[in-house]
């Protein structure tokens, strides 16, 4: 039985993505699909879940939001970091053109997803990225380099459309060009996207964040309306947070 | 409704006067944190559900890492995170309300640091009208911070049992620890003190060490082992307890399949606790185990009643087609 114990990895590269975000590239791989997450552990400090932004080599894109991510940002090339995973359910392979929607650092798993979609020969991707200010936008150049049509929104209007990312998504959905929408970001954004997708009848796959403890579906810490974000998600199809029991035998 | 889903085999059972449509009980600590998750376990085939253990005051629990699949089982040290008993009463009320139409009993679970506090908790939690109250005197992850667990001593375990029995009219299940030299002595003591049922067993203490750094992996250093590694330990404990008391048993530890449940009932359990299995078998864990158990019985023409406790009768050739001579068996059946 292999289990899922931590294994030590080393940072082989550290890439500054924006003012708050770095990508750590590790000297290992993980058989993960886009949307899945792994646990990052610093012995004696803490362990937290992070979405995987690349599987081979293993990569995490980490926003600086608290003491633990401060420590991850302080890691240098050659430093060790312990990983276990992958966990959870990611995005489906999908067919047709996909609209990727990222709110703030929520774009972290979407570039990985975009690469996987294009590698599978699907009909291409658009990326709609939003943030409060332009320096918080993530992966703009990376999506452009993939050949994606990129649509931007910032709340202060410093880049792209002034407003929220949902403002640029609404007309894109109405265009009828997209077979599905895949998103990751704050819950309010995801809820708005779910409503937009329902109205325009575009299937949606939405990745939710939650306070997570065990990460393996037993403790209940990440429960949201009867669903476990770590085990049933983090990626849910639209209207994911129905009352439980709808799938009762 | 569960009995129907399991074909013609009647899996229903009655523990301390409470009817279950099948013997599978969601073990405490798994999914028990919210009414919605308890309902999910009930709707997916659990015969009864046990809420997460609550304590008199809220607890945040331990830092991560708190739970790990180490290959032969799980190990966890959640540290009993819970919102405290007052909030738990509200959650239990909602769970009781949601599960009543499903015919699935709700079991409250309490822990405290003194026997008197156990009594007060039993009284408070009774306000929510759970069908049963499980008295968790055996959590391995509180031991170091508070006291020796009550389940470590026959006298302390019996004392808690007497006090909770005096504090509530709701039947009480005492949850025992495998980490004692003679679990049958503890079982005898709690049975004599009035326990309506016994859950055997809680997790077994253990730890993981990271080879690279030599550091303990769990933030709490040690934790409780569950899953496949726990099953042989649980079977032995259930067998030992069933050999000395007639109190109904919820056999808990490493049950992942219908065949595991058969083994647990054979060892002497009336009901079968299911916990870590949800990690191994996913969202349909309860219906899978329930249907496997029903199929096993049906294929052999047995009822649950007929297989219960047959491990203890296994020297009687009439109850087994191929009675194995087991060296040392006599020494193990402590009576």
Contact assessment for residue B311 and residue B290, using Cβ atoms and an 8 Å cutoff: no
Q: Is residue A56 a part of any domain in this protein?
A: yes
Q: Which two tokens stand for residue B333?
A: 């059946």
- Of the three residues A87, A112, A134, the one that is the final residue of a domain is A87
Interface test with B, best of A71, A83, A213, A229 (most B CBs within 10 A): A213
Q: Are residues A115 and A153 both part of a single domain?
A: yes
Q: Is residue B9 a part of any domain in this protein?
A: yes
Computed on alpha carbons and rounded to an integer, the radius of gyration of chain B in Å comes to: 19
Query: Over chain A, what is the mean pLDDT?
Result: 91
pLDDT band for B315, please (50, 70, 90 cuts): low
Q: Is it true that the peptide bond before B87 is cis, omega within 30 degrees of 0?
A: no
Angle at B251 (CA atoms; ends B249, B257), nearest 5 degrees: 145
CA-nearest of B224, B208, B233 to B276 is: B224
Interface check A39 vs B, CB under 8 A: yes
| Res B268: pLDDT | 98
Is there a catalytic annotation at residue B13? no
- Residue with the two structure tokens 């048993």: B249
Question: What is the CATH number for B47?
Answer: 3.20.20.70
Q: Which of A66-75, A104-113, B12-21 has the lowest mean pLDDT?
A: A104-113
Does pLDDT of A71 surpass 70? yes
DSSP string, A116-129: HHHHTT-S-EEEEE
Q: Is residue B287 a part of any domain in this protein?
A: yes
Boundaries of domain holding A180: 98-207
Query: Over chain B, what is the mean pLDDT?
Result: 91
Interface test with B, best of A6, A48, A244 (most B CBs within 10 A): A244
Does pLDDT of A156 surpass 50? yes
Contact assessment for residue B179 and residue B152, using Cβ atoms and an 8 Å cutoff: yes
Mark which residues 117-146 of A lie under 8 Å from B by CB: none
| Res A48: pLDDT | 96
A218, B212: Cβ pair inside 8 Å? no
Q: Are residues A82 and A104 both part of a single domain?
A: no
Q: What are the CA-CA distances from residue B44 to residues A211, B2, B102, B134 (Å)?
A: 25, 9, 11, 22
Q: Is it true that the peptide bond before A114 is cis, omega within 30 degrees of 0?
A: no
The catalytically annotated residue of B54, B139, B237, B271 is B139
Q: Is residue B332 a part of any domain in this protein?
A: no
CA-nearest of A86, A82, A161, A84 to A128 is: A161
| Res A95: pLDDT | 82
Q: Are residues A45 and A121 both part of a single domain?
A: no
A10: phi then psi, degrees, rounded to nearest 5: -125, 150
Q: Is residue B321 a part of any domain in this protein?
A: no
| Maximum Cα–Cα distance across chain B | 56
Looking at the complex, report in whole angstroms how far the Cα of residue A204 sits from the nearest Cα belonging to chain B. 22
Question: What is the CATH number for A72?
Answer: 2.40.30.10
Q: Is residue A221 a part of any domain in this protein?
A: no
Q: Are residues A56 and A126 both part of a single domain?
A: no
The total domain count for chain A is: 2
| ipTM for this prediction | 0.88
Q: Are residues A76 and A107 both part of a single domain?
A: no
pLDDT tens column, B152-192: 999 999 999 999 999 999 999 999 999 999 999 999 999 99
A47: chain B residues, CB-CB within 8 Å: 63-65, 219
| Res B23: pLDDT | 98
Q: Are residues A129 and A159 both part of a single domain?
A: yes
Interface check A88 vs B, CB under 8 A: no
Coil/strand/helix, residue B150: helix
Q: Is residue A177 a part of any domain in this protein?
A: yes
A248, B33: Cβ pair inside 8 Å? no
pLDDT band for A94, please (50, 70, 90 cuts): confident
Angle at A170 (CA atoms; ends A167, A176), nearest 5 degrees: 155
pLDDT (average), residues A11-31: 96
Contact assessment for residue B177 and residue B151, using Cβ atoms and an 8 Å cutoff: yes
pLDDT (average), residues B288-296: 98
Q: Are residues A81 and A104 both part of a single domain?
A: no
Name the burial class of residue A237, with classes exposed (0-12), middle (13-18) and buried (19+) by CB atoms within 10 angstroms of its CB: middle
pLDDT band for B5, please (50, 70, 90 cuts): very low
Q: Are residues A131 and A197 both part of a single domain?
A: yes
A70: phi then psi, degrees, rounded to nearest 5: -60, -45
Q: Is residue A103 a part of any domain in this protein?
A: yes
pLDDT tens column, B66-76: 999 999 999 99
Q: Is residue B42 a part of any domain in this protein?
A: yes
Q: Which two tokens stand for residue B179?
A: 């980490």
pLDDT tens column, B23-71: 999 999 999 899 999 999 999 999 999 999 999 999 999 999 999 999 9
The total domain count for chain B is: 1
pLDDT band for A83, please (50, 70, 90 cuts): very high
- Global pTM value: 0.90
Among the partner-chain residues A43, A48, A216, the one whose CB lies closest to the CB of B67 is A216
pLDDT band for B141, please (50, 70, 90 cuts): low
Question: What is the CATH number for A122?
Answer: 3.40.50.80
d(CA B285, CA B49): 13
Among the partner-chain residues B52, B72, B279, the one whose CB lies closest to the CB of A216 is B279
Contact assessment for residue A115 and residue A56, using Cβ atoms and an 8 Å cutoff: no
Contact assessment for residue A110 and residue A182, using Cβ atoms and an 8 Å cutoff: yes
Share of chain B above pLDDT 70, in %: 90
B74, A216: Cβ pair inside 8 Å? yes
Q: Are residues A123 and A202 both part of a single domain?
A: yes
Contact assessment for residue B152 and residue B176, using Cβ atoms and an 8 Å cutoff: no
| Res B7: pLDDT | 58
CB contacts < 8 Å between A and B, how many? 122
Boundaries of domain holding B149: 2-310
pLDDT band for B143, please (50, 70, 90 cuts): low
Q: Are residues A34 and A78 both part of a single domain?
A: yes
Does pLDDT of A131 surpass 80? yes
Contact assessment for residue A38 and residue A83, using Cβ atoms and an 8 Å cutoff: yes
- Closest residue on chain A to B63 (Cα): A46
Interface test with B, best of A220, A230, A236 (most B CBs within 10 A): A220
pLDDT tens column, A178-222: 999 999 999 999 999 999 999 999 999 999 988 889 999 999 999
B29, A44: Cβ pair inside 8 Å? no
B286: chain A residues, CB-CB within 8 Å: none
């Amino acid at each position: 039985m292999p289990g899922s114990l931590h294994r030590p990895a080393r940072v082989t590269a550290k890439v500054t993505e924006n003012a708050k975000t770095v990508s750590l590239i590790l000297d290992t791989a993980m058989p993960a699909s886009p949307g899945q997450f792994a646990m990052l552990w610093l012995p004696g400090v803490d362990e937290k879940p992070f979405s995987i932004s690349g599987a081979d080599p293993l990569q995490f894109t980490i926003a600086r939001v608290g003491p633990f991510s401060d420590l991850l940002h302080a890691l240098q090339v050659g430093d060790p970091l312990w990983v276990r995973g992958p966990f959870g359910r990611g995005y489906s392979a999908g067919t047709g053109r996909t609209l990727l929607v990222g709110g703030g650092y929520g774009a972290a798993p979407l570039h990985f997803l975009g690469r996987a979609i294009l590698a599978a020969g699907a009909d291409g991707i658009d990326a709609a990225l939003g943030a409060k200010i332009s320096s918080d936008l993530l992966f703009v150049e990376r999506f452009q380099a993939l050949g994606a049509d990129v649509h931007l929104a910032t709340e202060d209007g410093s880049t792209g459309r002034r407003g929220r990312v949902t403002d640029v998504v609404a007309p894109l959905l109405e265009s009828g060009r997209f077979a599905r929408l895949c998103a990751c970001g704050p819950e309010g954004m995801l809820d708005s996207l779910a409503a937009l997708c329902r109205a325009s009848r575009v299937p949606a796959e939405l990745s939710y964040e939650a306070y997570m403890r065990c990460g393996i579906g037993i403790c209940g810490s990440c429960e949201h309306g009867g669903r476990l974000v770590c085990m049933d998600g983090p990626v849910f199809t639209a209207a994911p947070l129905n009352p439980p029991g709808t799938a009762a035998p | 409704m569960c009995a129907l889903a399991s074909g013609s085999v009647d899996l229903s059972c009655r523990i301390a006067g409470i009817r279950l449509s099948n013997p599978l009980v969601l073990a405490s600590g798994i999914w028990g944190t919210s009414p919605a998750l308890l309902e999910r376990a009930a709707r997916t085939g659990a015969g009864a559900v046990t809420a997460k253990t609550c304590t008199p005051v809220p607890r945040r629990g331990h830092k991560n890492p708190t739970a790990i699949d180490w290959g032969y089982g799980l190990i966890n040290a959640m540290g009993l995170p819970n919102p405290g008993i007052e909030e738990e009463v509200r959650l239990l009320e909602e769970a009781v309300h949601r599960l009543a139409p499903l015919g699935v009993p709700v079991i409250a679970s309490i822990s405290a640091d003194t026997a008197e506090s156990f009594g007060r908790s039993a009284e408070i939690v009774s306000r929510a009208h759970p069908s049963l109250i499980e008295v968790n005197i055996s959590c391995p992850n509180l031991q170091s911070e508070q006291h020796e667990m009550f389940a470590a001593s026959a006298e302390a375990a019996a004392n808690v049992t007497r006090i909770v029995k005096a504090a509530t009219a709701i039947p009480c299940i005492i949850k025992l620890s495998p980490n004692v030299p003679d679990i049958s002595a503890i079982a005898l003591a709690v049975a004599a003190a009035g326990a309506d049922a016994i859950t055997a067993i809680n997790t077994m203490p253990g730890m993981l060490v990271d080879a690279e750094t030599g550091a303990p992996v769990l933030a709490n250093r040690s934790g409780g082992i569950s899953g496949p590694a726990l099953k042989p330990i649980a079977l032995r404990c259930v067998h030992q307890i069933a050999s000395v008391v007639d109190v109904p048993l919820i056999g808990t530890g490493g049950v992942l399949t219908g065949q595991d449940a058969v083994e647990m009932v054979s060892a002497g359990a009336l009901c079968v606790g299911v916990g870590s299995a949800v990690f191994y078998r996913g969202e349909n864990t309860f219906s899978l185990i329930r249907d496997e158990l029903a199929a096993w019985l049906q294929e052999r023409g047995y009822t649950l009643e007929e297989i219960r406790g047959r491990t203890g009768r296994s020297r009687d050739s009439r109850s087994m087609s191929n009675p194995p001579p087991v060296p040392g068996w006599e020494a193990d059946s402590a009576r």
